[in-house]
Structure 1
Amino acid sequence: MLTTPITAALVRGALDLEYTERGVLPHRLPARARQQIPDGQLAMTESQPSGVRLAFRTAATIVELDVIATKRVYAGFPARPDGVHELLVDGKLAGQASVTEGDTFTIDMATGTVESKPGPVRTLRFTDLPGDDKDVEIWLPHDETTLLVALRTDAAVHSAQSGGRKTWLHHGSSISHGSNAATPTGTWPATAAALAGVDLINLGFGGSALLDPFTARAMRDTAADLISVKIGINLVNSDGMRLRMFGPAVHGFLDTIREGHPTTPLLVVSPILCPIHEHTPGPCEFDPDGLREGKIRFRATGDPAETRAGKLTLTTIRGELARIVKERSTTDPNLSYLDGLELYGEADHADLPLPDDLHPDAATHRLMGERFARLAFDSEGAWATHEARPGV
């Protein structure tokens, strides 16, 4: 078996690689941005490799990948499923594998304490692959931080070519990150990217789509042909901003992106339906009745009357985003707006309710991905009339 060093030439979807004594850690925010992260939530989620994959060309019939997974344990909550690695051959699923052991990160939500414990290296092995030259991708678990230790194959590995595909850079919340999706290629952005034939960089961060300036700067400095930002749910369920601050913050976020991508097609996407927050502000919390039943559900704790004082709801945010995009598009013809209710709305909720009252399930991720591919990428979609011009 041949061992190939894991370098940036083999990794797609990450903005930075951190080389540690134990392995290579992909990051979805660059080092400068990570130095400005104010909380552990974003520090954890940006290291979870949603959309990150190894990509190479080889005639190998056996591929082995040594990894150290990070297993999150929430004290008092049901065990989380192991993260899934997916191997694709020429774009088609050819294998799935998981590791059951790794570093353990135990979080006590009641006390706020965190305990970490190092774990072992484990090997993922994919066999019986076609013996001809082919493009291979290994998609890392979207919700499980993964150190890459070693890549081994029974034939030489070469860097894969993009094939002229455009790069789509997307930012959003836990829904974009992939919460409740079953597999890394099953998140709605990964589904849309596959259908559209584009290369995805997914900056969806669980709980952390908060219009952070360092995220906007990271997007400004990342080359892309198409850019989308999905704004809203985290601002409501964190109760982190009032209406007076929201508009200028959106403008500032978009202005920063435009510094590096002045003419790149840019799509602003408003929140999908979430009944608990449509007319009720945050903050959001775990539903204690659900916890007593051994189930994770969420509830909104704000008072709808507080919207008069500037507290945000999803309904308010959709209206503001539509207004902002309409005003800016008079001088920015490559800026578009997509109402999130077109991805998941009232009729969809009747058939596919949010299982925890906040995040879509695997089937809904698929539905949203299919709809985004049509509404954004198709010949009559939001990006159809815009010429993609990469930024620096």
Structure 2
Amino acid sequence: MNLSEVTERISRKLEAKGAQPDRQKIESRLSRLVEEFGVNLDEAERTVTADLAREHNVTGVGGSSTEIRPIHEIVPGEWVTIEGKIVALTPPVSPSIAQTGIIADSSGAMRFVTWARANAPTMEYGHWYRLESAVVDEYKGAPNLKIHSGTTIAQMEKDAPLLPSITPIAELKPGVGSVRAKFIQEWEASHDRMLQTGLLGDETGTIKFVIWKEEGEGKEKLDLDAVYNIFYATVDEYNGRLSLALNTAMYITDEGDIEVGRTETEIRGALVHVAPGSGLIKRCPVEGCNRTLSRQNYCPVHEIQPEFRYDLRIKAVLDDGIRARNVLMQREVVEALTGITLDEAVSIAETNPLGMDEIFYRIRNTVLGRYYTCSGNEFGGRLLVNSCTPIVFQPEELASLLNRAGGEPA
């Protein structure tokens, strides 16, 4: 952390309260405390924040106050005192970290990290604690509570139930969130550590989720088409898109149903490339795996699988003239687009000298170079196609283009 970052953080906190601080003045004060008086940067930030808050006559921007703050009001850069319940614990990712998890109160929840050098007492899942002089910084775009050597931790004799407020998917932000959603699509795991991944949806939209494998019993998988109340999931952001990690969450099935509001991406263009791995493929039959097998029926996780199952897919590139996008079409879309069913493809492959390659060539010859409108959800830089229709020739469009170009039809 440098002076410029701290200056920016202090400025944002004051501006959020309606003040108009002088950034140059803030950095000058920080520099003097750190370089001339040897004050550590955290203490300098707290001092300058408190001084400027008094000058601008604003409150609630940090300082050494022991006033208990609701979690949903906390912003990065503050020193806070909170009371909350430990609703999730996660394995530390580094030896320098003693404990990580999620702490919640009736207003909201946030991630926390306890540094090993803090020598702080270990907090237990399901217990309430009072934390004094904890620092709030920003991690992956969301407030994150840091417990350091100056933080006081006291377990509370409290057993108040927490009722997390449900957030519509369209209103989620990076951090921690609770949703009521329906499991609408299951995707093939792209990493060995993934237990399950797919798409959740509610009335406002859809979001990708992932459950990572854990040592021991770990998490249970979700059932397709079921509705769940999911509490305290981790909301991450990558390339401007949000996703839910359910390893920190508690999820309970709901008897109702949800009419999912689709937020699909639609693209129109020419299918300019059909990639290897398209056509008739084999999948691992082990429950929960579904990975694509090699020609020798080898699964990267479960090794040789003679009892494989067949599937159809197209991995391709759709070019709209401005941007080329990777698209992935699953069995139902492939069958509708090519007119070849899975049973027909298997029969052809088993009786043709080229085997599965024959299906690849037939599908490629059917779709390559043609124009389509594809709709679906983007995931990992690829459009997972839910529907795909050929673009029908419109004579009036050709006439309009010819008129603009000043030409005549042949």
TM-score of the aligned structures, taking structure 2 as reference length: 0.25
TM-score of the aligned structures, taking structure 1 as reference length: 0.25
Larger radius of gyration: 2
Of Structure 1 and Structure 2, the greater strand share is in 2
